Structure 1
């Protein structure tokens, strides 16, 4: 029994050190030390591991519980990125409040999984969901197709949209307000893309971005590894190594993409709102680059766990809405509906 406790203590110390190092992930460039990107990605899991050890030792009345408890306390501010403790305002302050949704729809491919009689019924189910939850004034989508856009326009009455298929762009912005100007932020490499639109909100021009940063492309490998019948030592080690190498490449590509977007945002003559799938957690350098000087609507008005990924890697928050600091954030909601491998997120904003 004593030997078993020693093993657990060593594992506890390793987990605590991992969590402690992950606190530095947002400020360490992944180009130099990509391993910190991995620690940032693992941040939600390391919290739960350390909580487990804390409870385990407390139940046994051991002072070892302080190891994880102290490390958790040291990074308390970092938890606001994944756990929301802010209640929304009781009601919209006036009719000038704007609802904004960001949604990686994955070409609406998951609608085929719904047990209804036809694709048409599935699309109607999705349209009903959107209407039921107050249709957003501005909808920023990622991984969309032109048929998706036409469906969203026709079923939800969005008269304005911007998308650049010639640029091989899968992001789009749909709006009930006029679009005065629009364009793309071109990336040198990677599979992500970004479009922007200057939207006229009754005389006030706001620049909106719909962003999809380079994917990690590890979800299929992760799905394979977590299946019990595939857990073989050699396969698992090679699979994990492959995932790390993909993440190493992906996080560096995302950093270059994030720099381009940030530079474009800083040159905007109008206040900015950026929506999208960053493919990285709040405890990442990429999030730090894009969110600096912005309001994260989840941190401002989110409640509960901020998970936005609906796949087999639990606890991941990789979708965001970041608003200009002058904006009043009224609410932030995450809808746990699996029309995609992401959950849609919505915020209500009041522009001063």
Structure 2
């Protein structure tokens, strides 16, 4: 088995087989240089992925294994977690395929919890066909929040642009009722710790967007800003957290104001993801921050409309692999420095001198 000191073991859940997930996974590792600094293991089935290879004439060599102890460095390892025949019909919504996506994901999460893999990168799933009596989660993040230690926070990342969410898969008409002092405090503290530990930012600056148009306009268009957001922001700021806002969301990104901050926290899903994907689509990474284990994914879905055509862009999935590895190294460094607070102080002073 590959030793963790040699290179990082990247576990990969295969996602919806009728979508572009398998294609972007295999395309990512067609570049042999990827195998020089990580050892991938795909939780799926060798025969199925061999079929996918043929559909877009991939030259990737797959190494089938039946146990994680059989991992081989320099190979695209495929852990066979099912044996039954799979009928792939690109672009179709299929409950049987959804069940296999769940099996791949939950098996990979178990390996992550056990430490058999170092990081997890998830290919896209279809949120409709994964539902069952055994799996009643709207997506990856909610399941990870239940299974892993910590408090999950969806953080979209592309270089220095980082957008987090106070609420994620919540209906718009329920967002206001979810915004509490405890939730907002927890999310801001989570993103602060994430920026320090996972992104090597010693004194992160965080912006919070308002829920209502014009950030409530002094209570004329809504009171959530005055009643919840402003008091929490002031309290945290006074205790040493560099958090600012709430800012009106409409012009925040268009004006380039986001560039002044290390992270932006949106109050709900589309408020954050629409501008993020407008600026970064195809290059961004979805990172589940706040957990003791590392999981990333591409910023796109199953893309049924182009599945099986061999034209899917794998840039975002490749970026997700790189991001997971970078965060793994950053955590190791931070945790090592944390054992000696003096080293953190010295590192902070060196950073200031560099500016």
How high is the TM-score relative to the length of structure 1? 0.31
